[in-house]
Chain A
Amino acid sequence: MAAEIAKPSVSIQDLSLNFGAVSVLQTLNLDVAEGEFIVLLGPSGCGKSTLLNCIAGLLDISEGRIFIKGKNVTWEEPKDRGIGMVFQSYALYPQMTVEKNLSFGLRVAGVPKDEIAKRIARAAEILQIEPLLQRKPSALSGGQRQRVAIGRALVRDVDVFLFDEPLSNLDAKLRAELRVEIKLLHRRLENTMIYVTHDQIEAMTLADRIAVMKGGVIQQLDAPQTIYNRPVNRFVAGFLGSPAMNFLKGRLEKNGDGWSFVADDLKIPLGTYQFDGQPEAGPAVFGIRPEHVSLNSGTGWPFSTAANVEVVEPMGSDTLVWLQLAQQKFSVRVTSERTPKNDDAVTVGFDPMRASLFDAENGSRI
């Protein structure tokens, strides 16, 4: 996925944005390939929506350039950037029917009438909103409104779609449904899509690549699996995954040729772990996802140890088992059939190959 993008659909170069003395985005670079589905993921306040607004031209940037389809659009008006945008609150014009909502921008732009009709018909067909065309937004359900909002982007006949948390206002069930629809839409249209969300499931399911953001900086830009399995720092590791990754505080020590992670009475040999560079001895954080740990499955693991069950949380198909490891909280995800009981003595085993080691100080992957 790290291949160079020769002709990016959207290219952001050295973009910075300051509000007065507050730096919101810092020298940010991002290339999005033609037809790619990029998700900007991060906690609120990380600058993801701001970045999207910059791409749309709704916010003036402080430094840098933005290219869309190879054209420098840094100073262009939003309407001239060849983008369509879908908003969290739908932003439908409440006094207009669905049809008017879809056509208003086109009419203002002077698109011929039959062309408008054609585009609306197509969008309505794709989104299955034909029966709703004469209704006003107030007479639509949340899901229907969001379809119309998408439709408004669709009729603009543009190359790049921007989604600003489009599903956040919907309930869980609808959200899942529309998620699939957006995915289908992307497959059908093959447009470039940039999608902002704070929901990691949406990010994981939709994205070709995810850009995890924090503090106005892209922490990691990679395919979802890579981000999930090899987070570049502790923030990314902790932000993705539910239940969250286990973190054990301890030290990285060299013993003989190999390295091991030591925390309290625990000593984890790191023979199978792939270091990013040349490790150094010192304080470190050991992270491993609950589903990469097994319980009572023999001693065939590169590392195993005994522990007592503290709390059991059944989650339907799986169960989360909480233990104490090296005086620290540690969770293990097991299938429901193998659930232990409270206070059971168990054996914990895992392969450090699946773990992630982070610098204790700056949190970056070791």
Chain B
Amino acid sequence: MRYKFLTAALAVTAALNFAGPASATDLEVTHWWTSGGEAAAVAELAKAFDATGNHWVDGAIAGSGGTARPIMISRITGGDPMGATQFNHGRQAEELVQAGLMRDLTDIATKDKWTEVVRPKSLLDSCTIDGKIYCVPVNIHSWQWLWLSNEAFQKAGVPLPKDWNEYVAAAPALEKAGIIPLAVGGQPWQASGAFDVLMAAVGGTDTFLKVYKDKDAKFAGGPEVAKVFKAADDARKMAKNTNVQDWNQATNLVITGKAGGQIMGDWAQGEFQVAGKTAGKDYTCLPGLGLNEVIATGGDAFYFPLLKDEAKSKAQGVLAETLLDPKTQVAFNLKKGSLPVRGDVDLNAANDCMKKGLAILAKGAVMPWTDQLLSQDTQKQKEDLFSEFFAKPDMSLEEAQKRFADIIASAD
């Protein structure tokens, strides 16, 4: 599962009204959405697609992107492509596209004016390679959220923090009450993601962009970033008693009040929802950790391998339009806890946290995320560094920052 969140979103838009008769065709769709909230969201997509008269053959691959992606790539390169697949951001699909394995969706996009409906527009760029569009973004996911358990703070007798700094200050009280201050699961991407969030929130948007976009290694080794490492050190101390692996187990610690909070993307909201918790009452969300209210425009996208079978190709078109259909967008994103990629949909049903996100989005306070800025290779190295950092309390900040700067220096 893990990669889904790192998955950057490729932007695109579209409101498709794909006309023409839809004949019943089985289309296998692979993805790694297998947790409770995710599965519920996928079901919405399947329902919508089945309603077109075709049949969604679910190809869920549990484990992680690490397990799922090789299978997907092997199948595409091995000549046994699925009908459609959830995938990561544009940089990785680039090679598949260059190898001529992916389907060009430009004609559909043009016909249905995706460029006009997709919001923010930057999403589209990630789907575009050499002027052609190869993927359908389905949602906007943002990483920069702090999820707090109201119950835990009540129990510890401290007021709910309004930002990261207050949260750190409250940590000793939480600990005293036998509560893990911060839940960070054992999967490497969680540690790495949390660090990126701290970079954006504590360091600020400029710092973030200077490091990850400009790949300024000298800056990455400098005092500005050292502040971020200091915050990461706080997080490391607060998280030291977390004994779980999966991100949703960590979320579950917050849901049950065993942990004070978690830095996690908006998909965590799906878990709260499945658990029947209400935003504002049972839990509180702080976008940008309450410090820097910006939304990163990551997300999930679907890619369509080039198929020989004409019926299936047609069904791919139907699926592409279904994914961007306003109704599907609403149903899917409500379950998933993510934001729709089109602004023209009605989201009255959205809860508090989602509305906060929508408001930030409406203000245009968006920034790109690491998945769009860095290669998978660099991301992996970063993950290795931060999972080690979080697991090893004796790893010094200087050493960690030096290694971080090295990674940025060689980043591509």
Determine whether A and B are in direct contact in the complex, meaning some CB atoms lie less than 8 angstroms apart.
no
Residues of chain A at the chain B interface (Cβ within 8 Å): none
Residues of chain B at the chain A interface (Cβ within 8 Å): none
